[in-house]
């Protein structure tokens, strides 16, 4: 081995897993992403494809009518680069067979009914998708001989309102909506299946995530209204606060949870570590977009969580992960993307 090669090899060993994860961990890996046409799922799919993984995507599809989901456009960057397109309802028994036949090495399970307000009027449908869908993934995983890791997506909503300065993984679970309850149930089923059956399951608990392609949460709604100079509607006082993380930071969180064995058997929080009131977000979006929108307040929303703020200490300790994008930078990027979508 030449002198330069020895130096390189020594450096590679010194940084160990980090070098492998960054340079060649994903090359040729058979990866299945459920909910791949969703907001985070589509960004995750793009990243996996770019890092050399053989990516299959499972998307929600009405097989009875053959209707094409509008959000398939989220996958246009990866179109033609993915290995397989799997269609169906994650909560149906057919999904189990579909996942098994795909035979992935790594599963990133994001498929869910994720809109909190929808769960108020459709709690059974949300439970079927979020818990039933997760159980289908887990049971399929039990029969996959070459499976290396499963990442199941939980939610910060499982905690309810923060009872201390920040929410760590030991914080009590107090879900306040049917959506949050369904995610808490799925979260604990994942832990139980790791404990009972020894499945290589890692549980990621993302706090509020925003960025391009997101449609149904407060930030994309405010940006859309601000660019049209229409009123920004806030539920209640607006003093309720959330921990907002930009999508690129959250994608890296998923990547590390899928590539590190230290993640198996653990539930890990990922967030920005700061909370911002909804009033602040409305004012900042109006400022950054140059909007003339008025800010108006309406009646408080049902099952509202008052405060969410992430303690990502465990993620930093285990993986060295920490967020890179500030709230102002993230909002600016999101606004610029939204403007381009509108031809502004």
CA 282, CA 201: separation in Å to the nearest integer?
38
CA 74, CA 39: separation in Å to the nearest integer?
7
Strand partners, 88: 60
133: enclosing H helix or E strand: helix 133-141
Cβ proximity of 308 and 208 under 8 Å: yes
Cβ proximity of 206 and 310 under 8 Å: no
Query: Of the residues 159, 179, 193, 312, which is catalytic?
Result: 179
Strands 276-277, 241-242: pairing kind: antiparallel
* Non-local CB neighbours of 244 within 8 Å, separated by 6+ positions: 207, 208, 209, 210, 219, 272, 276, 281, 327, 330
Residue 220 in tokens? 């994309």
* Non-local CB neighbours of 275 within 8 Å, separated by 6+ positions: 162, 241, 242, 243, 307, 308, 309
Residue 12 in tokens? 């590679």
Residue 222 in tokens? 């405010």
216 catalytic per annotation: no
Strand partners, 270: 206
The CA angle 65-71-215, to the nearest 5 degrees, is 130
Active-site residue set: 179
């Amino acid at each position: 081995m030449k002198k330069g090669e020895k130096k390189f090899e020594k450096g590679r060993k010194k940084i160990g897993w980090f070098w492998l994860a960054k340079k060649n961990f994903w090359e040729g890996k058979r990866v299945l992403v459920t909910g791949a046409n969703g907001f985070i799922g589509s960004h995750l799919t793009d990243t996996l494809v770019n890092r050399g993984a053989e990516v299959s995507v499972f998307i929600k599809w009405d097989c009875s009518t053959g209707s094409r989901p509008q959000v398939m456009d989220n996958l246009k960057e990866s179109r033609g680069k993915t290995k397989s397109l799997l269609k169906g309802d994650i909560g149906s028994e057919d999904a189990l067979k579909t996942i098994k036949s795909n035979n992935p090495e790594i599963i990133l399970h994001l498929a869910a009914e994720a809109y909190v307000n929808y769960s108020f009027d459709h709690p059974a449908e949300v439970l079927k998708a979020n818990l039933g869908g997760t159980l289908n993934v887990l049971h399929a995983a039990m029969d996959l001989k070459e499976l290396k890791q499963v990442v199941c997506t939980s939610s910060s909503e499982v905690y309810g309102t923060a009872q201390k300065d920040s929410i760590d993984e030991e914080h009590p679970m107090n879900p306040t909506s049917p959506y949050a309850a369904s995610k808490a149930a799925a979260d604990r089923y994942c832990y139980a299946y790791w404990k009972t059956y020894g499945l290589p399951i890692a549980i990621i608990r993302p706090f509020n995530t925003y960025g391009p392609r997101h449609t149904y949460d407060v930030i994309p709604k405010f940006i859309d209204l601000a660019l049209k100079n229409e009123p920004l509607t806030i539920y209640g006082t607006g003093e309720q606060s959330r921990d907002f993380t930009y999508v690129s930071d959250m994608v890296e969180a998923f990547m590390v949870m899928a590539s590190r064995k230290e993640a198996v058997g653990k539930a890990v929080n990922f967030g920005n570590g700061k909370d911002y009131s909804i009033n602040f977000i409305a004012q900042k979006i109006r400022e950054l977009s140059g909007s003339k929108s008025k800010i108006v307040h309406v009646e408080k929303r049902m099952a509202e969580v008052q405060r969410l703020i992430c303690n990502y200490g465990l993620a930093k300790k285990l993986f060295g992960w920490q967020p890179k994008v500030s709230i102002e930078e993230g909002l600016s990027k999101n606004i610029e993307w939204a403007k381009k979508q509108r031809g502004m």
